[in-house]
């Protein structure tokens, strides 16, 4: 029998088994009716897929929404879609909200204003944390009285701006959801700063180098055992989204439970 | 001889490494179980929220449509029955209990739907601001119930799948022999498969 280095057989075997196991655990399709891949990406605070707003109108809204977040931490986004893909607006808005993860993870203070011009439907999807302030009745009133009449007349900029203004007004008058973010202003928030990234990359390179230098002397059994024991006791928490610096807007990991209300026009 | 043993040991180590890297460890089953229980608690929470809205609704409708006694009584009785059935988080593995809970809530949904249909006949009631607010709250609650149910079904599916597939089944047979699959929701109405006949 030819004497292949034992290490190489083990390494090949490990990779083979690994890939087999990974295949066994290929994630199946999720139960959600709306597939997250088909939803628009969060390109900014105003995502105008249906193209009903002019650039200066979009910019005006973006400034308002940014001010809202700067002052209170509430992440509000406006989205227009050209098609609801055969879904009702309620599950679509909820799926979109969850994809974008609006709102801070611990406060769930996100708000989505969704307009579907083709289906003539509008909806506020309210995060868990804001449901007490922006109640269903209030959002219904905003949609019915402020937004719907303007949209019926074809004034998208006016209707959407009215919706944004009214919800900001409600949010500012309630002190409990209107809290300054002292942590962020003092730089206490977790940020993927370039320094941290460079640090971990250097550590990674060092480990690689050490492994490479000692590649003939590594006891893979011990390495494997250590890894398994470590992973069996480790948790796998998802992390919240990254904070934005400047206006690279991204979701903060918040969730919504279907609060808010819809209307048609 | 020792060379062979160390080979076998290495091979075993690789197998364990593969299992470990696949991400399903000792912790996964309890974690998924707790997640499913939390989602169930949310489902109950939203159903309770709906039940809490009903007394106000009944009082408002009574102010305008006192003569609709049977409908109002039906709603009140259905609500009492629905709030009396409580499925504790530890009982979600019992399909019978889930079915009972569902049936009671479905009865309440039916009575509520009937009430709202009846109130369509009273224009004063329909334009009453309080009634409009209650209607929007009910719609919102029904939507929240739908979301909570979807989340629960997904969590139950994740748990059940993990129990049945490799290597979760291995961990279950060693450490979690008592783990049972979690019951999901079934079709609500007794004849849900048959479309209702629409007669104009």
pLDDT digits (tens, 9 = 90+) for A120-159: 999 999 999 999 889 998 999 899 999 999 999 999 999 9
DSSP summary character for residue B114: H
A29 min Cα distance to partner chain B (Å): 11
pLDDT for B195 = 62
Alpha-carbon distance of B90 to B94, in angstroms, equals 9
Indicate the CATH number of B25-175 among 1.10.3720.10, 3.30.300.20, 2.60.120.380, 1.20.1440.20: 1.20.1440.20
pLDDT tier at A181 (50, 70, 90 boundaries)?
very low
Instruction: Determine, for residues B23 and A10 on separate chains, whether the beta-carbon distance falls below 8 Å.
Output: no
Q: Do A228 and B139 touch (CB under 8 A)?
A: no
pLDDT tens per residue, range B67-99: 888 999 999 999 999 999 988 888 888 888 999
Q: What is the pLDDT along chain B (200 residues), one digit of tens a residue?
A: 566 777 788 787 777 766 665 555 778 888 999 999 999 999 999 999 999 999 999 999 988 888 888 999 999 999 999 999 988 888 888 888 999 999 999 999 999 999 989 888 888 888 888 888 888 899 899 999 999 999 999 999 999 998 888 878 888 888 888 888 888 887 555 555 556 666 55
- What is each CA distance from A111 to A94, A257, B101, in whole angstroms? 11, 12, 32
φ, ψ at B145 (rounded to 5°): -60, -45
Domains in chain A, CATH or no CATH each: 36-181+254-264 (3.10.310.50)
Mutate to test the interface with A, among B136, B148, B152 (most CBs of A within 10 A): B136
pLDDT confidence of residue A245: 35
Q: Between these two residues, A264 and A244, which has the higher pLDDT value?
A: A264
What is the phi/psi pair of residue A256, to 5°?
A: -130, 145
Question: What are B's interface residues with A at a Cβ cutoff of 8 A?
Answer: 3, 6-7, 9-11, 13-27, 31, 42, 46, 132-133, 136-137, 139-141, 143-148, 150, 153-154, 157, 161, 165-166
Query: What pLDDT, in 10s, does the model give residues A224-255?
Result: 777 667 666 654 443 333 333 347 888 999 99
Distance in angstroms (rounded) separating the CA atoms of residues B106 and B99? 10
Q: Which chain B residues contact residue A28 at CB under 8 A?
A: 161
Nearest residue, CB atoms, B140 vs list A6, A231, A259: A259
- Predicted confidence at residue B1, as pLDDT, reads 58
Task: Give the range among A23-37, A61-75, A219-233, B93-107 with minimum mean pLDDT.
Answer: A23-37
For B28-43, write each residue's pLDDT tens digit: 888 999 999 999 999 9
Interface contact A258-B146, CB threshold 8 A: yes
User: Which residues are within 8 A (CB) of B42 and not within 5 positions of it... i.e. 6 or more apart?
Assistant: A257, B148, B151, B152
Looking at chain A, how many residues does it have? 265
Residues forming beta bridges with residue A263, ordered by sequence position: A122
The residue of A92, A137, A235, A264 whose CB has the most chain B CBs within 10 angstroms, and thus the best one to mutate to test that interface, is A137
**B107, B84 Cβ separation under 8 angstroms:** no
Half-sphere exposure of A245 (CA within 13 A, CB side): 7
Cβ neighbours of A122 in B, within 8 Å: none
* pLDDT, mean over chain A: 79
DSSP letter string, B161-196: HHHHSTTHHHHHHHH-TT--PPP----SSTTTTSPP
Q: Answer yes or no: do B147 and A18 touch at CB < 8 A.
A: no
Chain Cα centroid distance, residue B93: 13
Q: Using CA atoms, how far apart are residues A54 and A66, in angstroms rounded to an integer?
A: 18
* Distance in angstroms (rounded) separating the CA atoms of residues B73 and B111: 9
- Domain map of chain B by residue range? 25-175
Q: In chain A, which residues have their Cβ closer than 8 Å to the Cβ of B139?
A: 136, 261-262
Quote the pLDDT of residue A244.
Answer: 38
pLDDT value of residue B45: 92
> What percent of chain B is modeled with pLDDT above 90?
40
Q: pLDDT tens for residues A160-177? A: 999 999 999 999 886 655
Q: Considering chain A, what percentage of its residues have pLDDT values greater than 70?
A: 72
Nearest to B20 among A13, A137, A232 (CB): A232
Has residue A180 got a pLDDT over 60? no
Beta carbons of A139 and A126 less than 8 angstroms apart: yes
Helix extents (H) in chain B? 2-21, 28-64, 69-84, 95-119, 123-127, 129-164, 168-175
Q: Are strands A75-80 and A110-116 parallel, antiparallel or unpaired?
A: parallel
Quote the ipTM score.
0.75
pLDDT band for position A222 (50/70/90)?
A: confident
User: What CA–CA distances, in Å, run from B11 to A9, A262, B20, B137?
Assistant: 9, 59, 14, 61
């Amino acid at each position: 029998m030819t004497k292949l280095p034992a290490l190489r057989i083990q390494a090949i075997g490990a990779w083979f088994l690994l890939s087999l196991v990974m295949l066994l655990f290929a994630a199946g399709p999720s139960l959600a009716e709306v597939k997250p891949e088909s939803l628009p990406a969060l390109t900014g605070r105003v995502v105008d897929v249906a193209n009903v707003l002019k650039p200066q109108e979009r910019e005006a809204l973006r400034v308002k929404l940014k001010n809202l977040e700067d002052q209170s931490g509430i992440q509000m986004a406006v989205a227009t879609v050209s098609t609801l893909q055969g879904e009702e607006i309620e599950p679509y808005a909820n799926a979109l909200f969850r994809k974008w993860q609006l709102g801070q993870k611990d406060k769930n203070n996100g708000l989505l204003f969704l307009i579907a011009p083709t289906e003539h439907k509008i909806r506020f999807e309210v995060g868990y944390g804001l449901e007490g302030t922006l109640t269903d009745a209030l959002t219904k009133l905003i949609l019915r009285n402020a937004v719907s009449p303007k949209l019926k007349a074809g004034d998208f900029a006016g209707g959407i701006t009215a919706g944004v203004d009214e919800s900001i007004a409600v949010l500012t008058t309630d002190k409990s959801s209107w809290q300054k973010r002292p942590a962020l202003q003092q730089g206490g928030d977790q940020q993927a700063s370039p320094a941290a990234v460079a640090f971990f990359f250097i550590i990674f390179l060092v480990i690689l180098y050490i492994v490479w230098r000692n590649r003939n002397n590594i006891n893979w059994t011990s390495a494997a055992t250590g890894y398994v024991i470590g992973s069996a006791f480790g948790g796998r928490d998802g992390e919240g989204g990254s904070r934005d610096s400047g206006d690279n807007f991204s979701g903060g990991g918040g969730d919504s439970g279907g609060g808010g209300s819809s209307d048609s026009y | 001889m020792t060379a062979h043993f160390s080979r076998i040991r290495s091979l075993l180590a690789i197998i364990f490494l593969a299992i470990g890297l696949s991400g399903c460890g000792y912790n996964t089953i309890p974690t998924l179980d707790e997640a499913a229980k939390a989602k169930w608690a949310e489902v109950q929470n939203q159903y309770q929220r709906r039940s809490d809205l009903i007394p106000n609704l009944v009082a408002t409708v009574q102010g305008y449509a006192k003569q609709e006694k049977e409908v109002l009584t039906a709603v009140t009785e259905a609500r009492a029955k629905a709030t009396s059935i409580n499925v504790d988080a530890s009982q979600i593995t019992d399909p019978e209990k889930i079915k009972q809970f569902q049936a009671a809530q479905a009865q309440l949904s039916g009575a509520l739907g009937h009430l709202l249909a009846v109130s369509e006949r009273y224009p004063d009631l329909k334009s009453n601001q309080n009634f409009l607010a209650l209607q929007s709250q009910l719609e919102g609650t029904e939507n929240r119930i739908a979301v909570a149910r979807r989340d629960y079904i997904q969590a139950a599916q994740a748990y059940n799948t993990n129990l049945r597939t490799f290597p979760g089944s291995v961990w279950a047979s060693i450490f979690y022999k008592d783990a049972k699959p979690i019951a999901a929701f079934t079709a609500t109405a007794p004849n849900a498969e048959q479309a209702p006949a629409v007669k104009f």
